[in-house]
Amino acid sequence: MLSSRIPPENSPSFPRRLPAWISSARAETAEDAAFLTGAALSALQVVLVQPDVPHALLRERRALAAAEASVIRAGRLERAANLRDEVHLLRPGDQTGPAGAVFALWRQAVARPISVGTLHAVLPGIAAPDIATWLDAGQGAPVARACAVFEAVRTVHPRAEEAALILADAVLAQAMGGNTIMPLLGAHLTARDLRTSGADLRGAGYAAVRKAAAETLALSQDLRDRAAQLKAVAPQLRAKGAAAAVDLFLSRDALSPSLGLTSSGVGMSDRAARRLCDRLVALNVVRELSGRDTFRLYGL
């Protein structure tokens, strides 16, 4: 049986966590905070450019973290498991509740490359020319630029907190040389942080990004190991549609056998989909995420 704790053989070794001098250091000054945050982003960048990291899946998991942070800021009781249920058990024609809508929004935001058009499609309440201006705005280091854009969006759209965070994370990703959003600020800024401005907001942004970078680095390596193990057993899967199902597991936060694997893109019967998921769990390459006997969800 494969163990999810053992890295794939012959795979390159990359950092699995931030060095202690970054993660444990106390930022006594704004300069310290900026330096430590830059070091954290640099360590994360080493991993994010590796081709064997399942990037789409990693972004979806970070989108879930950002959505959970959002509902916590709003004082709601839903947590990650509830958000997964609302989105991944949604039947065609149904609508999510308010909390599920936040997760769906972040999933849309991270799914496609950053551009004015794609962001306007995700955030139709924000004018495309304004999005273009904000994507090109700002000088200096990534976090400072992102925080400046958050403030600018908040000034024009004071009730569009989620849109401001998505655009801030888009600017942060671009400033790091990326072309897709990796939710960092959105996952760790608190309600109190979002009421600040200027140097206070930048300080909160530095702290949030360091936490998010540490989490994302560890998660990326865990998903990298799990993805390699799933790919290793994929040739053993003879069921019709198994290859397409494996591709979905490598890119989706969670899947319902009866909803996610019976679609036209996979084409499995409900029974075959359940049997495939049970086998992947037995092989220790996929986990059952819901903890229920019915309406189960599976993922890496």
Is there a single domain that holds both residue 94 and residue 167? yes
Is there a single domain that holds both residue 123 and residue 270? no
Is there a single domain that holds both residue 173 and residue 292? no
Is there a single domain that holds both residue 206 and residue 155? yes
Taking the C-alpha atoms of residue 74 and residue 247, their distance in angstroms, rounded to an integer, is 35
Q: Average of pLDDT values for 204-230?
A: 96
User: Average model confidence (pLDDT) for the chain?
Assistant: 92
Q: How many independent structural domains does the chain possess?
A: 2
Is there a single domain that holds both residue 265 and residue 181? no
Is there a single domain that holds both residue 167 and residue 116? yes
User: Among 222, 250, 280, which residue terminates a domain?
Assistant: 222
Does position 140 have pLDDT exceeding 90, yes or no?
no
β-partners of residue 109 are none
What confidence category does residue 13 fall into, taking pLDDT thresholds of 50, 70 and 90? low
Give me the phi and psi of 286, to 5 degrees please.
Answer: -135, 150
Does position 131 have pLDDT exceeding 90, yes or no?
yes
Q: What pTM was computed for the model? A: 0.93
Write out the residue range of the structural domain in which residue 97 sits. Answer: 28-222
Is there a single domain that holds both residue 116 and residue 198? yes
- Residue 196 is encoded by which pair of tokens? 């600040």
Helix or strand or coil: residue 288?
strand
**Interval 229-246: pLDDT, tens:** 999 999 999 888 999 999
What confidence category does residue 12 fall into, taking pLDDT thresholds of 50, 70 and 90? low
Does position 294 have pLDDT exceeding 70, yes or no?
yes
Is there a single domain that holds both residue 247 and residue 147? no
In sequence order, the 6+-apart residues with CB closer than 8 A to the CB of 149 are 134, 137, 138, 164, 167, 168, 171
CA angle 289, 41, 169 (to 5 degrees): 70
Taking the C-alpha atoms of residue 149 and residue 8, their distance in angstroms, rounded to an integer, is 41
User: Does the residue 16 lie in any domain?
Assistant: no
Is there a single domain that holds both residue 218 and residue 244? no
Helices and strands (H and E) in the chain: how many: 14, 2
User: Does the residue 5 lie in any domain?
Assistant: no
Taking the C-alpha atoms of residue 73 and residue 70, their distance in angstroms, rounded to an integer, is 5
In this prediction, what percent of the chain has a pLDDT beyond 90? Answer: 82
User: Does the residue 245 lie in any domain?
Assistant: yes
Candidate ranges 10-14, 50-54, 133-137; pick with highest mean pLDDT: 50-54
Does position 282 have pLDDT exceeding 90, yes or no?
yes
Taking the C-alpha atoms of residue 64 and residue 85, their distance in angstroms, rounded to an integer, is 12
Is there a single domain that holds both residue 198 and residue 148? yes
Q: Average of pLDDT values for 184-197?
A: 96
Tell me, letter by letter, the H, E, C secondary structure of 139-194: CCCHHHHHHHHHHHHHHHCCCCHHHHHHHHHHHHHHHCCCCCCCCCHHHHCCCCHH
Give the Cβ contact number of residue 97 at 10 Å.
Answer: 12
Taking the C-alpha atoms of residue 194 and residue 201, their distance in angstroms, rounded to an integer, is 7
Does position 151 have pLDDT exceeding 50, yes or no?
yes
- The alpha carbon torsion through 89, 90, 96, 97 (nearest 10 deg) reads -40
Is there a single domain that holds both residue 158 and residue 283? no
User: Does the residue 290 lie in any domain?
Assistant: yes
Taking the C-alpha atoms of residue 194 and residue 204, their distance in angstroms, rounded to an integer, is 9
What confidence score (pLDDT) does residue 137 get? 73
- Residue 248 is encoded by which pair of tokens? 């979905």
**Interval 69-79: pLDDT, tens:** 999 999 999 99
What confidence category does residue 170 fall into, taking pLDDT thresholds of 50, 70 and 90? very high
Helix or strand or coil: residue 299?
strand
Is there a single domain that holds both residue 194 and residue 295? no
Does position 19 have pLDDT exceeding 90, yes or no?
no
